[in-house]
Structure 1
């Protein structure tokens, strides 16, 4: 069954220098369990009070301060749908699922037509693999995909952890994986992608039949994205079962050097594990999210003086953490790791605040020519004690704010992380970079 929706071209993210553009795929949409057609930001606004304006605090990434005021507003006015919805989203950012479900459910009952609240409540269930509860909240194509998952999503056979060596770290990290018992193929790691995405050829080779499909408009071109479920996905010593997947009609995924890959692995897969993308050691490390694995990793981090940073999961798949550009910050930055030949995407306003010089004489068309960015180099950028110097980047329109619902310092991406190992702990909601 086919369902039609329109996608804002900015949702496609910045141009991947021919990689995702040739794939006809979205960076962070049209992938596993995409919530297509949902509103991107709050649909209502709460007036400021004597406590201050919680919307302004939330927009600035001051989530705890905003949450305290939203809570007081909700206490004074139990019918305040906006306060309930925002407070629920703040809990969802930190995977506090019980509170998020309660508050987002309350907001939905108070404002049943609020599609943002509906999308966030669905994501609260999806993150917990409660797909039957998420399905009624989703567009028909995604609901059909979830209903077709027979068994536990991302069920794992294998040891407690596995290490999958990189084939290469550039232009993006690549590992070998096998779908439905087929031959091993090359997959790209990209935290800005939703989950498992395949090319058309890879989907055909795996014998996949779509459960549903949706027509998506990207940069003025309408393509069909197919949704299905992979029986098995082998990564290292792990065999994953019941993995939602998407592929786009006629898509290929080729790097600028002509290397063709089979698909991407993204955040919806990564948040099922204690995941390390070890750029320095050139490997993907997946650990089961057990107390023993958590303790072992934290002990290892303590021995190397690796300090945790806050981790938020915004929208339905975008990891965020405090970052700094030079002496500006800390402010919330997004981690969409899949931008080629780049370590930073930020706005002109943030570049000016951080004192980053911009090469305005050499514009770069992106998103199929619908937008323009400009080269820039960050003399210093950092997450906690992880510091990188002279990082190449771009300045111009940034799409991530529309997906997260709050202001961002920018996107910290591939070239920034190359000297480091990056661990995403979606249980304790900590990020480790070092």
Structure 2
């Protein structure tokens, strides 16, 4: 396992998806923190999720002190959250010149490169960050990664609960049942499917998983066919564990890395997954469809390789940063820290504790029922949620109000545009 283990513990594979309590949410900002943010303190702005303001504040610091490692790294981090790759590379490279062995900078720059499919450039970054298994993995991707063939795929869901499943073909083989989840980074599959596809590992590691351990193997897949869309030459992971998945029988999991290469619509109301090659025409159609449905664009931020965030609210909190956990398997429409639930006066049912797993580790959470949770104009009232008494601060350095999960999205369709970094959520089926 790597030194910080964040990818390892947060990764979801072989169908083991999000369970209640899996969101690493921080408590609501206190009055003192809000006052700091009002004074435009750069770190307070960043912690509060006010990334544009924080970016400008870090730039002001760098004008006065170009050798400020923290400001350079944070300014690059802000750009990376918005997929602003030229600025991300500029400031992270500046930080790296100040401290070549800094692990945080190297991890962020490695992420910046893999988001652009610049896998060879990411290798020394992962090595310097202490993630040798990923350095070996990405070094094995030869030539152009994530080659896209086809223009659109509409994949009907085989089921809705406990997790949506779609069919896909691995290396031209027979259809397999894959769940999807934006809380998982890569494309993952069972050891049986990997063997059938003829995959060979280029790296491996053993990790803690549920009540035991699991082996993760990493390789490069020739072909992954999703209806009318085929992806070629992509990083892939497969796993072996004696633990039982909570998500039901399936052959693998499709994570955020696949989705951010496409215009992706999770059409919950229409029970389908819609994948489009992103072109100016397809992006215009998404915007036009959203406008007709009355859905305004919401901001999209991508943290730590795969963590999606936008702006939402819980129980009248006002608009704050929230996590978007789409797909997966959970009965909770949102997860928040116990402290946040108490601060917002959300009713918590302590008589019915739920023993589950979060970040692949045991956790006990409690049902709670906020009067409303909201993402743009999409709302759920008095819906079943979960309060986590053991929530940890985000490793990305900013607070989130909570995270919205699978049940919240059921009346809606939600589209992610990773070029403009917008989220569109509209009631009803996608067109």
Q: After TM superposition, is the score higher than 0.5? A: yes
Write the distance in 1 (CA, Å) between the matches of 2:48 and 2:325.
19
CA contact (8 A) 2:17 2:246 kept: no
Q: Is 2:78 aligned against 1:90?
A: yes
Write the distance in 2 (CA, Å) between the matches of 1:219 and 1:347.
21
Aligned to 1:265: 254
Note closer, same or farther for the CA distance 1:50–1:204 as it changes in structure 2 (3 Å cut). Answer: closer
Please state whether the residue corresponding to 1:327 is helix, strand or coil.
coil
Structure 1: runs of 5 or more not aligned: 29-47
Write the distance in 1 (CA, Å) between the matches of 2:12 and 2:284.
39
Pairs within 5 Å for 1:3-402? 4-5=1-2, 12=9, 20=16, 52-138=40-126, 139-158=131-150, 160-218=151-209, 221-250=212-241, 254-255=245-246, 259-337=248-326, 338-367=328-357, 370-397=362-389, 401-402=393-394
Note closer, same or farther for the CA distance 1:403–1:283 as it changes in structure 2 (3 Å cut). Answer: farther
Please state whether the residue corresponding to 2:273 is helix, strand or coil.
strand
The TM-score, its normalising length taken from structure 2, stands at 0.87
Write the distance in 2 (CA, Å) between the matches of 1:303 and 1:9.
40
CA contact (8 A) 1:200 1:252 kept: no
The TM-score, its normalising length taken from structure 1, stands at 0.87
CA contact (8 A) 2:76 2:92 kept: yes
State the structure with bigger RCO (CA 8 A, min sep 6), 1 or 2: 2
Q: How many pairs were matched up?
A: 405
Note closer, same or farther for the CA distance 1:19–1:295 as it changes in structure 2 (3 Å cut). Answer: closer
Note closer, same or farther for the CA distance 1:7–1:169 as it changes in structure 2 (3 Å cut). Answer: farther
Q: Is 2:415 aligned against 1:419?
A: no
Note closer, same or farther for the CA distance 1:399–1:155 as it changes in structure 2 (3 Å cut). Answer: farther
Write the distance in 2 (CA, Å) between the matches of 1:180 and 1:8.
30
Note closer, same or farther for the CA distance 1:262–1:73 as it changes in structure 2 (3 Å cut). Answer: same
Could you tell me how far 1:371 is from its partner in structure 2? Answer: 2.8
Write the distance in 2 (CA, Å) between the matches of 1:261 and 1:230.
19
